[in-house]
Amino acid sequence: MDTSHDPSTRVIPASVASDEASPEYGPIRRWILLTTAIVQFISPTFFQFSGSATDPPITPPGVFFSIWGLITTGCLAVALWGFPTRRAAVAPYRHVQLPLSITQILFACWLAAATSPGDRYRFLTLPIFMGMLAGVSAALAAVQRTANDGGDALTSHLLSGVLGLYAGWSTPAIWLNLGALLPTGLLMGANGTALQAGLVGAAVVSVIGGNYLSNSNVGYSLASAWALTGVLISSVKTELMPVAVTAGIGLAVLVSRLVGVVRFHMGA
């Protein structure tokens, strides 16, 4: 008997069957991504963060934190663009929904901790920020890993750009966050200057490492350079020249890498 046209006997590729059977790729994931993107986008309205009077001199000027507006708006655009099933159920979206959703919830938690009355829970901002960086880095790595899996170019560029910005700002921000949690007395005098230079140096090393790991992602480079520029301006204003030199070196490396990427694509 010929069963070649019988649907019940049709052979389904293992990869397709696995994707369809796995709840990881179910429609609930796109709703979670969209919901958490909205929560992240509106959370600054409820937890208004404007820094603290005890922030160390290496903290960038307030205007530099406006990048969060670009990041949260970009994440919302990512969730909306990836909401249709034809995108949500395939790479790269199916691989970023969970880690990015967790990151977006952690952002709201970070704001809540940073603005807690009397700074009661401010110490939690550091581990929360580390979790945010881990989540967005996992999402960015998934996008780069599946770049050639058949997804459209616009989707890949959107995800790479937004996630790169998120990771690029978060990498140095972790070290600046650590500085903000230290007792003010530790940041005074020559020893305090050395300590702040060490924190900025750690940020620079982390940023350069992240730049290489992200294959010189443009969004990552721009956001990191933005953060280091803020540190450079603040340290010059407060005459912390060792800190300014350290930030300047990191900024020079990032700019040179970024110029190299631009020249490569222009020559390609």
Q: What is the pLDDT of residues 153-186, one digit of tens each?
A: 889 899 999 999 999 999 999 999 999 999 988 9
Q: What is the mean pLDDT of residues 250-262?
A: 88
pLDDT tier at 264, thresholds 50, 70, 90: low
Q: What is the pLDDT of residues 14-46, one digit of tens each?
A: 333 344 434 445 579 999 999 999 999 999 999
End-to-end CA distance of the chain: 57
Q: Crossing angle for the helix pair 189-213 and 241-267, nearest 10 degrees?
A: 10
Q: Give how far Cα 198 sits from Cα of 82, 103, 171, 206, 239, Å.
A: 41, 27, 15, 12, 16
CB within 8 A of 92, min separation 6: which ones?
Answer: 142, 143, 146, 147, 149, 151, 155, 156, 159
Q: What is the pLDDT of residues 5-16, one digit of tens each?
A: 444 444 333 333
pLDDT of residue 1: 46
Q: What is the pLDDT of residues 111-157, one digit of tens each?
A: 999 999 888 999 999 999 999 999 999 999 999 988 666 567 889 89
Residue 90, token pair as written in the block:
């395939």
Domain ranges of the chain: 16-267
CB within 8 A of 115, min separation 6: which ones?
Answer: 47, 48, 49
Q: Where would I find the beta strands (DSSP E) of 108-228?
A: none
